Structure 1
């Protein structure tokens, strides 16, 4: 039984608790009954009219010291202006409200479009949404401030440590817009205050994606107005590439950050700034900032997002964060970070001698130390190449850029009316599925016997293999026949065997330890891609005709989700590209190491494996199509192929069985990675004209005649 002293302590704690306020609608009623405007009240409480508006419509809650003053004012008004049926001498008892979080941040839903949002006018009380995240039955946020969204409700965060989701978009009035329509009141007026508010009060962050990984640091996205409010320039000026621009070290904001004992990463204070202190125990102290007006969101990866309203930006980035990863820079950077997050390099394990927990290698990962490639896997400027004087050639595993020789076109093909382009959905992602790659350092072998199960680089002569000239060679990116011995990745050599040809490697660089490193990366991105397409009305259960119709309209169904889809696709391509990031900057000298080489994920051999498999997958389909239909492509560009067609639809030339089902082995329409969609349709004469000029119809099939002057 508790002692009297313990009971008194409990009662004192209740007395010291923050006062509960009336419901938002009652706050507005009391202010209007007193004849006080929101602006006048804001001035009295030393805050902004927008904050008062947020308190009265339930988007945010006041925080100390304003909370106590506001409570006192409302109590006084309640005694003077009681609600209908309440005695004047007694203030109305406020209805119970959910407990205030320890950060004093009670999120409120924000669901109506800007044009539909309730406003407070004289004699009219504001609506009072419940202080909780959006429930499935509530109306969805608009895709933009002008177009309503059609979407599934996003599931609430599963981790109680991060009740408000992974990120927020901060506007100039101090409103921080999070996922599911919540809005938090952020009082920060400096970057240092913003960092401390984010870590201590915001409730932002995301749980780790793997049991051995790390939690994602909270992301704060700054609008132009928010940047200015925090003392940052609205734009970064300079003659360098935008992505390389940084605040100078003597800028006031940088000085404030350093003075407060915070640190910036080596990339400094740029469009994506990471501000941190060394971790204390297991708690990370790090906040990521993204500044919209500094071009943090590339239009190619995030189409239209930077111009959206803050709540819509939060929705786009929030869905991406929940389905992929909290953005950490460009989509390419995020794609690479996702690989590490899904396959962390270390895990805790017991030390055999002391019995203490130590950091051990996580099987199937790339480890913690960078690894030099074999010379043929490197680039010409790499130290391994320059210091060894290597002159034995390099892997040339790149995506297709091939145009068929016009002289191989038959009269029947030339008389077909249309050229139809097919695009494979996230072809690199499809190639990453169940892809075995090397995990250890390469070993050098002379005269090895080829083994298609061992990932590596093989020096072999494939020039004797003769194939149909109406198809590109599977062994070179430009589709031309090899002229002698060259270095190839395992998948390319294995395909030569699959076609029935003998291969006798001269040399090889092979890796003894192997694994499907990219599998969890592939699985998460595939799910994100398919789920986002489904949000846009493109689902797996559609017929091919329905699929084509849905794809024609999907970008207009919900611009916000269309932007998420574009970001997912850019994450795939960018992440694969980052595996062989080249040196940047005019000051670089050949043979010097560059920063990317210091990370374990600089693995050009893994990039080569993905691209080799994707190109071989494309050629296998081209070959099967020729066998099944007698059709040959006009051009191929990476994951896009153009065919001559009797009609303006892929349905006019794709192979189907008598049952109506697609024939296996060829191109198939559908919404999953590796299946095809319509890229574009043009007249056959248009395609032939481009081919005669040496241009690639697959590059321009989407754009029409306007591209004829665009040289390649």
Structure 2
């Protein structure tokens, strides 16, 4: 690992009284030399001053400096105040600032000079984020980071992100991918005695090279989907469709007698699902009629139509079928499969848990596998928990204290809230970007695009994470139903006979009927009142739950009558998905 000592990972540059001032994350203000009057000079100064950060892996590389330019600094360095090319969101190649970079020996990535620019010179990298060009705007998913106008406060907050996650490198989704490669570098330098030169070799356990998806994993724009018909592109028999669950239903008469509905929200569900998840590392291999093995990641063609999900009674240990009112865990709509379909390994592993005989017709399997996302999960989990602690939410809180703290969380420190949102979006966006769709124009409908060259363009890994998150939540709901049988403390005699069944589901939010206006009323417990192992559990940890919202049963029925998923709006009546939650 590098022994370089860095003064800071980044600075926020601001102009005042005719000179530049650099604001460091440690709240120190540094006067920038007077000769720094343009972007090439600022980049050179960043390297000379010693900005940057050490690698996150023993075989990784240092992070280059990040310069964040405020509006005044942008103007001081001779850059326009806004991007006139609103289509490509970059400065034109004939702009004086671009020419100055070229004359000074700096090159740029193909994205050019834009809100997030990567400059290169002599194998050194300098990142530049331009605030007035939208570096932290809503589409970049940095939460409310764009509302931090004080340069020193912005430097401090971004410095915490750099310390807990990594030096920012674009959108939070882009940072999510970059973090994967930072903690598990695709390759490392080694000395080749034969050639007497340094060369790169793959790092075991990493994604070291771009690989093609299996045909059912290819999205419609992919070259492998060129021969796919429109009907096939919409058929689960031809296309892997592992997505989050979106489902709701009418309440029964007994359920409708409950005065409330309560939404349980699973904290950072995708991040929790990535923990200890075995994923494929190399290319997929096709096989006919394989025997299902939950230890082998891949995509399996299986007919689950007509399968009856069951679970063992917690007391008698006898198998009993799930109620018809339960959503199916095998489709994004919650409707039971109607024929053969492609599934990721976690979905079928859960089917086996539900007493279903899984007999694959065919499969695309990845024998080379490992816990690629484990280190990524660990770093983001620690960042999430540390930032929650800054806001006064800690692991040792009791349920009531935790729910009360979360109810007033948005009244907390704005900078910590912005950081918390950025960390959550880094996890969620990083997984989503593993199946990034093409951007801009291409020579043909199925022409390759630049993202396909990344080792982290892996729709199969994204599918496995979503599959794991969906089935994990469903498993908790089944445990809740099982525990509520024979118990009258949920909805009364009706629940004792029929059990507590979800009314609506939207990704990581599960809605239940309730006699009381609190999430604590629908969490399964043991005889001594402690949370039931394997069920929903209230707390701050990833995979635990918080209260998404509590509304009246009348409100729920009105939403269903409008054909709107109540899980989408139960949080203060607003669209949680649209708001990035």
TM-score normalised per structure 2? 0.89
Shift of 1:347: 2.4
1:388 Cα deviation after fit: 8.1
Match of 1:643 in 2: 512
1:175 matches 2:21: yes
Deviates more, 1:181-190 or 1:346-355: 346-355
Q: Please say if 1:466 is aligned against 2:300.
A: no
Name the CA shift for 1:313/1:662 in 2 (closer, same or farther; >3 Å). same
Offset from partner CA, 1:635-674 (integer Å, 9 cap, x none) = 1111111111111111222222333311112111111100
* RMSD of aligned Cα (Å): 2.0
Query: Considering only CA atoms, is the larger Rg found in Structure 1 or Structure 2?
Result: 1
Q: Is residue 225 of structure 2 the alignment partner of residue 382 of structure 1?
A: no
- Counterpart for residue 51 of structure 2: 204
CA distance, structure 2, for counterparts of residue 705 and residue 686 of structure 1? 13
Superposition pairs for residues 431-442 of structure 1, below 5 Å?
431-442=273-284
SS in 2 for 1:198: helix
1:446 matched to 2:315? The reply is no
Aligned residue number for residue 418 of structure 2: 563
- Alpha-carbon offset, residue 315 of structure 1: 1.2
Aligned position for 2:357? 502
User: Please, which runs of 5 or more residues in structure 1 have no aligned partner?
Assistant: 1-157, 280-284
Q: Is the 8 A contact 1:387 1:591 kept in 2?
A: no
User: 5 Å matches for 1:664-679?
Assistant: 664-679=533-548
Q: CA deviation at 1:353?
A: 5.1
Instruction: Name the counterpart of 1:227.
Output: 74
SS at match of 1:493: helix
Q: 1: distance between equivalents of 2:361 and 2:55?
A: 45
Q: Which residue of 2 aligns with 1:191?
A: 39
Asked if the contact 1:686–1:705 (Cα under 8 Å) also holds between the matched residues in 2, the reply is: no
Whether the 8 Å CA contact 1:299–1:305 is kept in 2: the answer is no
Gap change, CA 1:668 and 1:622, over 3 Å in 2: same
Q: For 1:414 and 1:264, how far apart are their aligned partners in 2? A: 61
Contact 1:298 1:330 in 2 (8 A): no
CA distance, structure 2, for counterparts of residue 183 and residue 350 of structure 1? 42
> 266, 288, 294: which is aligned to 2:133?
294
Secondary structure class of the residue paired with 1:644: strand
Secondary structure, aligned partner of 1:657:
coil
Unaligned runs of 5+ in 2: 310-322, 485-498
* 1:194 CA drift (Å): 0.6
Deviations 1:310-356 (A, max 9, x none): 11111111101100011100000000000000111112445475676
* CA positional deviation for 1:440: 1.4
> Which of 1 and 2 has higher RCO (CA within 8 Å, sep 6+)?
2
**Alpha-carbon deviations, 1:14-63, whole Å to 9, x = none?**
xxxxxxxxxxxxxxxxxxxxxxxxxxxxxxxxxxxxxxxxxxxxxxxxxx
* Partner secondary structure for residue 421 of structure 1: strand
2:63 counterpart (208, 216, 219):
216
Structure 1 window deviating more from structure 2 (382-391 vs 203-212): it is: 382-391
Q: Does the aligned pair in 2 maintain the 1:497–1:503 contact within 8 Å?
A: yes
Aligned residue for 1:680, secondary structure, equals strand
Aligned twin of 2:167: 326
SS, match of residue 170 in structure 1: strand
CA distance in 2, matches of 1:186, 1:310: 15
| Contact preservation (8 Å) 2:308, 2:356 | no
Q: Distance in 2 between matches of 1:538 and 1:327?
A: 25
Could you tell me how far apart the structure 1 residues matched to 2:574 and 2:302 are? 42
| Counterpart-to-counterpart distance in 2, 1:372 and 1:166 | 36
Q: CA offsets, 1:365-422, max 9 Å, x none?
A: 111x311111001112211221688956110000111112x1xx22221111111111
Query: Equivalences for 1:344-363 in 2 at 5 Å?
Result: 344-349=185-190, 351=192, 358-363=199-204
Whether the 8 Å contact between 1:162 and 1:206 is mirrored in structure 2 is yes
Change (3 A) 1:448 1:304: closer
Counterpart selection for 1:690 from 540, 545, 559 = 559
Equivalences for 1:33-112 in 2 at 5 Å?
none
The alpha-carbon deviation at position 554 of structure 1 amounts to 2.5
**Which structure carries more strand by proportion?**
2
Using the alignment, how far apart are the partners of 2:3 and 2:397 within structure 1? 35
Deviation at 1:199, TM superposition (A): 0.9
State yes or no: 1:428 paired with 2:280.
no
Structure 1 CA distance for aligned equivalents of residues 118 and 575 of structure 2: 43
Change (3 A) 1:278 1:371: farther
C-alpha distance 357-252 of structure 1, shift in aligned 2 (>3 A): closer
Q: Residues of 1 paired with 2:574 and 2:194: CA distance?
A: 73
